[in-house]
Amino acid sequence: MKASVKWTDGRQFVAESGSGHAVVIDGPPDHGGRNTGPRPMEMLLMGMGACTSFDVLEILEKSRAPVEDCVADIEAERADSVPSVFTKIHVHFTVTGKGLKEKQVQRAVELSADKYCSASIMLAKGGVEVTHSYTIVES
């Protein structure tokens, strides 16, 4: 896997993935940025959220669960001192579908957290307290 990050101006960068997709990453104006894109740590958090969401959906779809929507809301706390690393991350899934079984959703979330999500497992092994919860919404 490869990526490149090119500085464009101030604290703005264009990051390009090895698969050819690009995203603007920027800093806040008080740190030389122009607020034209997410911050680097926000990108890390969004990447982790997408990684675990991918797993949860794949597991539910393989078990033929009738998923219509899945939203992962992620909240994180960071250390007060430099480096301002993540200390806690909580992911809350809201899974919507008709007749979803709680055991299936619980199992999908647990498997992602404990076995499949490379991003959240890597962060947890690095000392971040990563927790998960879920809500099932009947459509």
| pLDDT tens per residue across span 94-103 | 999 999 999 9
Q: Domains (ranges, CATH) in the chain?
A: 1-38 (2.20.25), 40-138 (3.30.300.20)
Say if residues 2 and 18 touch (Cβ distance below 8 Å). Answer: yes
Residue 78 confidence class, pLDDT cut points 50, 70, 90: very high
| Average pLDDT rounded to a whole number, residues 53-73 | 97
**Per-residue pLDDT at 25:** 97
Q: pLDDT tier at 86 (50, 70, 90 boundaries)? A: very high
Phi, psi of 94 (to 5 degrees): -115, 110
pTM of the model: 0.93
Averaged pLDDT score across all residues of the chain? 97
Q: Exposed, middle or buried by CB within 10 Å (0-12, 13-18, 19+), for 112?
A: buried
**Quick one: pLDDT at residue 16?**
97
Q: Give pLDDT tens digits for 7-20.
A: 999 999 999 999 99
User: What digits encode the pLDDT tens for the residues 38-49?
Assistant: 999 999 999 999
| Residue entry with tokens 């597991």 | 59
Our CA dihedral for 53, 74, 84, 11, rounded to 10 degrees, sits at 80
